[in-house]
A and B are shown apart, each in its own frame.
Chain A
Amino acid sequence: EVQLVESGGGLVQPGGSLRLSCAASGFTFSSFNILWVRQAPGKGLVWVSRIDSDGSSTYYADSVKGRFTISRDNAKNTMYLQMNSLRAEDTAMYYCIRGGFDIWGQGTMVTVSS
């Protein structure tokens, strides 16, 4: 079964850090770009970041540029989102998505609050 499974979410204080992981299975992970999209409670979908299949290029939304870093380990079929200097407005469900937006994970919730 083609699957993406996120983990690493939780409660963190403002200014803190968190690392999200996205584990892939059922497809050739190294052949696909992977993206993160987030959804604040009761709000719409917002693209956050993308990494190319070989990790050579990365892209970030202006709202997270300089604070978030996307990376991947194709040998482990896993992608990561390192989130630093977290703010209350980063509170959201974070979804890992296969390039093309055809496969979505179940999401991992990040809450930034004191």
Chain B
Amino acid sequence: DVVMTQSPLSLPVTLGQPASISCRSSQSLVSGDGNTYLNWFQQRPGQSPRRLIYRVSNRDSGVPDRFSGSGSGTDFTLKISRVEAEDVGIYYCMQGTHWPPWTFGQGTKVEIK
């Protein structure tokens, strides 16, 4: 199974400042079709997760452009250019290249300092 490792696990951020979350996979996530199936999810307190980013860098509809995804192979990053209060929550990366199983990172808790 592919192991997804996120860092940091806790991220205190000042409002208006940038934030960055790293996600590493135990093997390359490049699929045989050339795509890289790496998603990012946000889970606000008391809510279901929602997808923010798919295939590394594609923002879902309605996701603010302060969120961006990047990376390749085994190393990926989610960046928030300027953190807002509504960004508080837990962020997960997930791979969908080598399945089953589909595997998630441990989650990174973003909170305001």
On A, residues with C-beta under 8 Å from B are 35, 44-47, 50, 59-62, 95, 100-102, 104-107
Q: Are B101 and A101 in contact (CB under 8 A)?
A: no
The answer to the question of B98 belonging to the interface, with a C-beta cut-off of 8 Å to chain A, is no
Q: Are B100 and A101 in contact (CB under 8 A)?
A: no
The answer to the question of B94 belonging to the interface, with a C-beta cut-off of 8 Å to chain A, is yes
Residue B104 contacts which of A44, A50, A100 (CB distance < 8 angstroms)?
A: A44
Chain A hits for B102, CB < 8 A = 35, 47, 50, 101
On B, residues with C-beta under 8 Å from A are 39, 41, 48-51, 54, 60, 92, 94, 96, 99-107
Q: Are B92 and A44 in contact (CB under 8 A)?
A: yes
Residue A47 contacts which of B39, B100, B105 (CB distance < 8 angstroms)?
A: B100
Report the separation of the CA atoms of residues A59 and B1 in the bound assembly, to the nearest whole angstrom: 14
Supply 13 A–B pairs (Cβ within 8 Å), ascending by A: A45-B92, A45-B104, A47-B101, A47-B104, A61-B101, A95-B49, A101-B39, A101-B102, A102-B60, A104-B49, A104-B50, A104-B51, A107-B48
Residue A44 contacts which of B48, B54, B60, B106 (CB distance < 8 angstroms)?
A: B106
**Apart from A45-B92, A59-B101, what 7 extra A-B contacts exist at CB < 8 Å?**
A44-B104, A44-B107, A45-B41, A47-B100, A47-B104, A50-B100, A59-B99
Chain B hits for A60, CB < 8 A = 100
Question: How far in angstroms is the closest Cβ of chain A from B30?
Answer: 18
Chain A hits for B107, CB < 8 A = 44-45
Q: Are A102 and B54 in contact (CB under 8 A)?
A: yes
Chain B hits for A46, CB < 8 A = 104
